C-alpha cells in the first residue's frame, strides 16, 4: 500500500475508485465500504484508494474538546494495510483545506488532482466548509465531471448502526465485548513501558506501566483481561486503568500484570488487546483485600479462553 501525506507527491494518471472519511477504528462498517470499493475497483479496472484526514477535523473546529480516538494515525495505517488498498491518502486538515466548499473539494481535489472515477461514501458522510458536500451534491456533479458515486447503507449489529461514536461509548462503559464486536477485532492500546511506583512487586504482582498517546481513548476505569504482546511473544495479562485509590494515587495510569512472564521491559514498546472486563476500579480497605481481589482476577484471567 502506498501512503501519501501530500497530494503534491502524487503523480499517477491512473483513475481511482475511492472512499473518504475519518475511518476512526476501521470498524466493520468501514470494512463493508472497503470491500465494496475493492469489488468496484476489480470490476471497472480502477486502482483503489482511501482518503482520510489528520488531525481529526473536530480537533480543528473545537480545539478545547476532549476528544479521544480509537486509532492513532500509525494504527490506522496498519489496519488499512490489511485490506490491500492500493493507496492511502492522509491529508492534513489545515485551515486552507477546511475552507474548501464541498464543490471545490470535489472539483479541485477529487477530480483534478486525484482523477477519481468512482466514489463511495458512508450513509451519513458530509464534507467541505459548513458541511456543504453530501451525496446530493455528488450526484449533481457526477454527470458533469464524469464520475460515479455510491452511498453505502449503515451496517447493523443487534439492530443498531455501527459507528465510531458508539464504539467509543461502549469502551467508556467497559463494554469490551460489545466494542470488539462492532470493531471486528480486539481493541488495543500500545506504548512504552515506563517506571512507576513499583508497589506491585512488593505484593507479588509486578506491573508494567504503559505510557500511551494522549489522543488514544482509554476504556473506563477498572480491571480487564488482556492479551499482551511484548518482544514478539504474547501472554495473558490483567490490566488496570485507574488512579490506584487504595494507596491514595491521583495520576491516571495504565498498568498490566503479565502472567508467566519475567524480565526487564523498561523502555520496550508493548501492545495489549482488551478481551473482557473484570470489574470497576475499587478502593480496598487495605493491601490484604487488594491482594485477595488480584488473586481472584488472576484465576479468572487464567481460565479465560483467548
Grid coordinates given for 98? 477546511
- Residues with Cβ within 8 Å of residue 287, at least 6 apart in sequence: 203, 246
287 alpha-carbon distance from chain centroid: 36
SS3 (DSSP) at 68: coil
Higher pLDDT, 248 or 206: 206
> Is the pLDDT score of 13 beyond 90?
no
pLDDT for position 7: 81
- Which pLDDT belongs to residue 158? 77
Confidence of residue 225 (pLDDT cuts 50, 70, 90): very high
- Nearest alpha-carbon partner for 91 in 149, 36, 10, 35: 10
Q: Residues 210, 192: contact at Cβ < 8 Å?
A: yes
Residue 196's pLDDT is: 84
Report d(CA 282, CA 290) in Å as an integer: 9
The residue extents of the domains of the chain are 2-161, 186-303
Percentage of the chain lying above the pLDDT 90 cut: 73
| Residue 60 confidence (pLDDT) | 81
Secondary structure (3-state) at 82: coil
Which residue shows C-alpha cell 481493541? 187
**DSSP β-bridge partners for residue 254:** 241
Q: What is the mean predicted confidence (pLDDT) over 233-255? A: 91
Q: Is the dihedral of CA 278, 283, 287, 292 positive or negative?
A: negative
Band (pLDDT 50/70/90 cuts) for residue 124 is confident
Q: Pairing state of beta strands 87-92 and 2-4?
A: parallel
In terms of Cα–Cα distance, which of 38, 39, 31, 71 is closest to 181? Answer: 31
User: What mean pLDDT value characterizes the chain?
Assistant: 93
Q: Flag whether pLDDT at 24 surpasses 80.
A: yes
Tell me if 25 sits within 8 A of 70, measured CB to CB: yes
Has residue 74 got a pLDDT over 90?
A: yes
Distances (CA, A) of 101 to 57, 62, 95, 96: 15, 19, 12, 11
179 bridge partner residues: none
Interior angle at CA 56, CA 39 and CA 146, nearest 5: 40
**What's the pLDDT band for 132 if we cut at 50, 70, 90?**
confident
**Phi/psi-derived region of residue 214, left when phi > 0, alpha when psi is between -120 and 50, beta in every other case:** alpha
Q: What is the pLDDT of residue 98?
A: 85
Q: Judge whether residue 199 has pLDDT over 80.
A: no
CATH number of 2-161: 3.40.50.620
pTM of the predicted protein model: 0.93
On the question of pLDDT at 200 being above 90, the answer is no
If you average pLDDT over residues 66-80, what whole number do you get? 95
Reply yes or no on whether the pLDDT at 291 is more than 90. yes
**pLDDT band at residue 56 using 50, 70 and 90 as cut-offs:** confident
| Domain range 186-303, CATH architecture | Beta Barrel (2.40)
Amino acid at each position: 500500500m502506498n501512503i501519501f501525506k501530500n497530494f503534491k507527491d502524487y503523480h499517477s494518471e491512473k483513475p481511482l475508485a475511492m472512499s473518504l472519511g475519518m475511518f476512526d477504528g476501521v470498524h466493520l462498517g468501514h470494512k463493508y465500504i472497503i470491500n465494496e470499493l475493492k469489488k468496484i475497483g476489480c470490476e471497472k479496472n480502477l486502482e483503489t484508494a482511501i482518503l482520510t484526514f489528520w488531525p481529526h477535523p473536530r480537533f480543528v473546529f473545537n480545539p478545547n474538546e476532549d476528544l479521544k480516538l480509537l486509532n492513532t494515525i500509525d494504527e490506522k495505517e496498519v489496519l488499512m494495510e490489511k485490506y490491500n488498498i492500493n493507496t492511502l491518502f492522509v491529508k492534513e486538515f489545515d485551515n486552507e483545506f477546511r475552507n474548501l466548499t464541498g464543490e471545490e473539494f470535489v472539483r479541485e481535489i477529487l477530480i483534478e488532482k486525484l482523477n477519481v472515477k468512482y466514489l463511495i461514501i458512508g450513509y451519513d458522510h458530509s464534507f467541505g466548509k459548513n458541511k456543504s458536500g453530501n451525496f446530493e451534491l455528488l450526484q449533481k456533479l457526477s454527470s458533469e465531471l464524469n464520475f460515479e458515486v455510491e452511498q453505502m447503507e449503515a451496517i447493523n449489529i443487534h439492530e443498531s448502526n455501527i459507528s465510531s461514536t458508539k464504539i467509543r461509548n461502549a469502551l467508556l462503559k467497559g463494554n469490551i465485548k460489545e466494542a470488539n464486536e462492532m470493531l471486528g477485532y480486539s481493541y488495543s492500546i500500545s506504548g512504552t513501558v515506563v517506571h512507576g511506583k513499583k508497589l506491585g512487586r512488593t505484593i507479588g504482582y509486578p506491573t508494567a506501566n504503559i505510557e500511551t498517546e494522549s489522543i488514544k481513548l482509554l476504556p473506563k476505569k477498572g480491571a480487564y483481561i488482556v492479551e499482551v504482546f511484548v518482544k514478539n511473544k504474547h501472554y495473558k495479562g490483567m490490566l488496570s486503568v485507574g488512579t490506584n485509590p487504595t494507596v491514595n494515587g491521583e495520576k491516571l495510569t495504565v498498568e498490566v500484570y503479565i502472567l508467566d512472564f519475567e524480565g526487564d521491559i523498561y523502555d520496550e514498546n508493548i501492545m495489549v488487546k482488551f478481551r473482557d472486563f473484570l470489574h470497576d476500579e475499587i478502593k480496598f480497605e487495605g493491601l490484604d483485600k487488594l491482594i485477595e481481589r488480584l488473586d481472584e482476577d488472576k484465576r479468572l484471567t487464567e481460565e479465560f479462553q483467548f
